[in-house]
Amino acid sequence: MTMTLLDIEFFFLILVRITGFIYTAPFFSLRNVPIRVKTGLSIFLALIIALTLTNDPPEYIGVIGYAILIVKEAIVGIVLGFFTNIAYHILSFAGQFMDMEIGFSMVSLLDPISMIQTTITSNLYGYLVLLMMMVTNLHHHFLKAIVDSFQIIPIGKAVINPAMYELMLRFMVDYFTIGFRIVLPIFASILLVNTVLGILARIAPEMNMFVIGMQMKVIVGLFVLAFIIELIPSVADFIFNEMITMMKAAIEFFKS
């Protein structure tokens, strides 16, 4: 089998889209995944797709035309991976909100994956959902989706839709909706505790409600957190569905 210059150029365009996705998608973009693994996986997938793809090579004029194609394919891969990955950060929002209600927000940890300061519950939910992603082979669905994207968005046929901001606005609505669904049990229990403390403050003003309130919030928060830990699979379903929805919507925006 001989490869022509057109075949190499076609393969490189595929590699650019795959690499953009691998470096921004959930699970694959983790900082503790070696760069050699990401690069090797990108080349391996691009080689398989190049050998099986039946689309005609795109037409272009000169070096500038080919450079434009490279930029477009990089944008497609990065946007598909990014819009899938941002759904994962709903867990960070929900965890920080929980810790703010319980009183754990004063303790911050450096997440070695995202390299940002997060709270205890954010790390707990993040690692549990990431583990479920691996156990349920969700990352296989991501690879299948990026491979199928070459059938929906052929090489060189991607259209940069300026209305993509609508997808981000839709995500922001889902971001707060899903986040508050996760937080709701903790929020309701702490609201009940605050109500009881307010009544006690009126009945017995000599009591130090600040000291009592901190202890009660921690005890009630930990109890409710332990009680709702079995709801983690439901939380993971919310996040997984949002990831898949965001990726499908992003693919639709690039269709010609």
Q: List, for residues 17-70, the tens digit of each pLDDT value.
A: 899 998 888 888 777 778 888 888 898 988 888 888 776 777 777 788 888 888
Q: What range does the domain containing 28 cover?
A: 5-254
Tell me the C-alpha distance between 198 and 187, whole Å: 16
- What global pTM score does this model have? 0.80
Q: How many domains does the chain have?
A: 1
Indicate the range of 49-58, 86-95, 120-129, 191-200 predicted with least confidence.
Answer: 49-58
Please name the residue that has the structure tokens 């965890």.
95
Q: 245 near 178, Cβ under 8 Å? A: no
Q: List, for residues 171-203, the tens digit of each pLDDT value.
A: 888 888 888 888 888 888 888 888 888 887 788
Specify the DSSP class assigned to residue 19. H
Burial of 202 (0-12, 13-18, 19+ CB in 10 A): exposed
Tell me the C-alpha distance between 237 and 91, whole Å: 12
Burial of 247 (0-12, 13-18, 19+ CB in 10 A): buried
